[in-house]
Amino acid sequence: MLTLAASAWASALVCVLWPSSAWWVGLGCALGGLLTLGGVEVRRRRGRSGSHLGLVVLVFAVMAAMAVTVGLSMPAREQAVDSAGRVVEITAIVSSSAAVGQDGRLWFDAQASSIGPRGEERSLSVPLRVGVEPADGFDLGAEVRVVGEAAATDAGERSALMLYATEAEVVHPAAGVFGVAAGARHTFIERSSRLPEPGDGLLPGLAVGDTRAVSTELNDDMRISGLSHLTAVSGANCAIVVGALFWLTAVCGGGRGMRVGLSLAGLAGFVVLVTPEPSVIRAGVMAAVGMLTVLLGRPSAGAGMLSLCATGILLADPWLAATPGFALSVVASGALILLAPPLARGMSRGMPHPVALAVAVPLAAQLACGPIIALFAPQQSLIGVAANLIAAPAAPLATVIGLLACVSAPLPALADLLASSAWLPAAWIATTAATTARLPGAQVLVPAGPGSALLVAVVSAAVAIVLIRAPARDLGPSIARASVWVRRGAAAILVVVLSLAGSRVLLDGPLATATAPEGWAIAVCDVGQGDAVLVRSATEVALIDVGPDPEPLSACLRSLGIERIDLLVLTHFDLDHVGGIGAVQGRVSAALHGPVAEESDRRLLEDLVAGGARVDEASAGQHGMLGEAAWRVLWPLRKSVAFPEGNDASVVMEFDGGGVPRSIFLGDLSAAPQRMLQRSARLTPYAVVKVAHHGSADQEPGLYEMIQPRVALFSVGADNDYGHPRSETLDLLAATGAHVLRTDEQGRVLLGLRDGELQVWTEQVGR
């Protein structure tokens, strides 16, 4: 069965990633199946068994079915893609729950029934991903009309198009059981919102999978601590519901058949309540597999039934093969069936068996899912097992009591009591996430991709081999000798990994400043696609922008021994320049900032003031001293009408003297304000320039010819989607004679002066 599932998965993955190959794959599998079927018949006539060939025929048949499913859907999807880049109107049925994305839009899946330019729609049934302004009514089963710009999706995406709505309305609200479920959810969410922090926003996510009220900060904490699966309506949620119903029926004296039947009925109701989108159905089917193994009295059949389950789901929706959620769900379920028991047996040699079993469950899931996570996520949680152990007692209580509060909506007094009771375990989980996510070393940053996945897989396998420790007497002599060498190799891998990790802890902790030279004056921190530049003179330090995330900036500050920021400059309020503000909160003496446009910008500044900083809006002409170095603001012009906010109103600073090379930092200015800066400021040659906007193509050559920099700094991420720094900008700086330094190639860059000569230190040798 594992062979069948793996073959089905591979076939679906090939077909959805390369749709043009679907019919060829189907034809090849059909021919392979026919040839194998002929071989079965030949063996039967000769009186030989052909059972193993029968499995091969089944595998070919399933692979062909995958290909046919994808091939039949392609004409409609291709017609839909023709609308990409245009404003279209669609009529569709909402097919998933809605969640607020990072762009502030409410996103949901929908099955379109018509699509095209307004007034010219044609009937077309394709899956879409729709983003609208947050509003009520976009529930599963609702019919909606949306007007917006269509964009093509990447290969492998289940949705044929992304639609960024400018107009959206609910034509017909959700009706029937979906309408009842939507009403119950909304009532429960409103009831939960009246509860205090920190459990108010998390409770609907734990009980019914609605995460719209979960703050961005708490969502990040849940991800870092490895607890995000609790709000994703995963197999764990379904297992909790099934387990509670199974236990309650058993307490009431119900037999095995009744326990399984009522548990499956309750599971079906839960799936409807939390919206039966593909991910929820997948989790529900996984839980149902466990119930069926109990009904059959064959728990050992779990792996085979899991394989059949995965194959059936892929036959219904081949695009799930390319989604991380499906892979994580199947692999985690398989790990609990196949890996958790031997891990528990191995660890029980050194701890009580109940404790070993409790640790083995989250550990097996993390070891199995780690390589998959490394393919698409740039971090690995190191605190996930401990956080799950701490949160484990509270998760079932929050889920079950929260569900009871949701379905008790017709009885307000009872619903209020249950919601208040569910708040305590929800608050426990939220506090656990917030606390564990802030522990030193809670996560390790790794570049997402196949290389990291392979590395994580090797380490995970080594951990599993060392912990399982199968006794040699249970194996044959040759296998026993081989297993000894395998365990020794695994132990050696772990020793190397732990040694490297210990070295990194020392370098980030007590020895943090050991790798930093004494004479640096300018430091460009490697914070990915964003800016964070330090300037130091005497004992004082200025920080220009804080990057997109606190952790990389915190690591940079630790490595340079920086405890306090005397002057913080927020050039403008884009996320890649202010997202890491948490790394310096409460450690800033004074701050300058660009024009404020959004309420969130004001709140950020209020937090700085609350942390003890003096805050002022920057404008051309302001000046002061940083230690023995002079600084001056060159841009923006005060109350500029032409460039009131954003990139083109970025604060431009210059520093000079006091051991600091004469330098200019251009924020994210584009060519137009660069030309105005040329005319409005008295610019002379600079030793160092921080190139504007990460080296985008929108530059003014005359500005760089005027300042004649000796060193050009590019603060840029290795895997950015913008192509920064652009080749034309690199050529422009090369033409001025500047030496180019890039954080995506050299890592952290340090500059200083010795006897009037510019010195450069980098972490890596440039490619």
pLDDT tens profile 580-626: 998 898 899 999 999 888 888 888 999 899 888 999 999 999 999 99
Contacts with 30 (C-beta within 8 Å, 6 or more apart), sequence order: 60, 64
Give the span between the Cα atoms of 308 and 325, in whole angstroms: 18
Q: What is the mean pLDDT of residues 624-637?
A: 92
What is the pLDDT at residue 278? 63
Q: Enter the DSSP assignment of 580.
A: T
pLDDT band at 130 (very low <50, low <70, confident <90, very high): very high
Q: Which two tokens stand for residue 693?
A: 């906007």
Strand residue runs (E) in 193-344: none
**Contact at 8 Å (CB) between 287 and 297?**
no
Q: Which of 192-201, 411-420, 581-590 is least confident? A: 192-201
Write the Ramachandran bin of 441: left for phi over 0, alpha for psi from -120 to 50, otherwise beta.
left
**Contact at 8 Å (CB) between 740 and 733?**
yes
Residue 515 has pLDDT above 90, yes or no: no
Give the span between the Cα atoms of 437 and 383, in whole angstroms: 8
Residue 263 has pLDDT above 70, yes or no: yes
Percent of the residues in the chain that have a pLDDT greater than 90, as a whole number: 23
Residue 193 has pLDDT above 80, yes or no: yes
What is the pLDDT at residue 708? 92
Residue 445 has pLDDT above 80, yes or no: no
Give the span between the Cα atoms of 580 and 224, in whole angstroms: 16
Residue 484 has pLDDT above 70, yes or no: yes
Give the span between the Cα atoms of 470 and 588, in whole angstroms: 56
What is the pLDDT at residue 212? 76
Backbone φ and ψ for 183, nearest 5 degrees, come out as -60, -40
Q: Enter the DSSP assignment of 759.
A: E
Q: Read off the pLDDT of residues 421-442 as tens digits, 9 standing for 90 and up.
A: 989 999 999 999 889 888 877 7
What is the pLDDT at residue 767? 36
Q: What is the mean pLDDT of residues 77-83?
A: 85
Q: For the chain, which residues make up each domain, given as ranges? A: 2-79, 82-174, 458-508, 512-762
What is the pLDDT at residue 590? 94
Backbone φ and ψ for 534, nearest 5 degrees, come out as -105, 140
Q: Which of 624, 743, 599, 751 is nearest to 686 (CA)?
A: 751
Crossing angle of helices 450-468 and 340-347, rounded to 10°: 50
**Exposure b/e, 276-300, CB count within 10 A at least 16 = b:** bbbbbbbbbbbbbbbbebbeeeeee
**Mean pLDDT estimate for the chain:** 84
Q: Read off the pLDDT of residues 288-298 as tens digits, 9 standing for 90 and up.
A: 766 666 665 55
Q: Specify the DSSP element, H or E, that contains 324.
A: helix 324-338
Q: Which two tokens stand for residue 763?
A: 């972490």
CATH topology agreement for domains 82-174 and 512-762 = no
Helices (H), 520-588: 550-560, 575-578
Residue carrying the six token digits 């023995």: 628
Q: Read off the pLDDT of residues 532-574 as tens digits, 9 standing for 90 and up.
A: 999 999 889 999 999 998 888 988 898 888 889 999 999 999 9
- CATH number, span 512-762: 3.60.15.10
**Contact at 8 Å (CB) between 69 and 8?**
no
pTM: 0.69
Of 2 and 29, the one with more pLDDT: 29
Other residues' Cβ atoms within 10 Å of the Cβ of residue 176:
9
Backbone φ and ψ for 92, nearest 5 degrees, come out as -150, 165
CA angle, residues 639, 644, 649, in degrees to nearest 5: 100
pLDDT band at 417 (very low <50, low <70, confident <90, very high): very high
Residue 40 has pLDDT above 70, yes or no: no
Q: What class has domain 82-174?
A: mainly beta
pLDDT band at 765 (very low <50, low <70, confident <90, very high): very low
Going 368 to 372 to 374 to 380, the CA torsion angle's sign is negative
Q: Which of 150-164, 268-282, 499-513 is least confident? A: 499-513
Give the span between the Cα atoms of 683 and 689, in whole angstroms: 12
Residue 526 has pLDDT above 60, yes or no: yes
Of 722 and 172, the one with more pLDDT: 172
What is the pLDDT at residue 302? 64
The amino acid sitting at 212 is: R
Give the span between the Cα atoms of 717 and 719, in whole angstroms: 6
Write the Ramachandran bin of 393: left for phi over 0, alpha for psi from -120 to 50, otherwise beta.
alpha
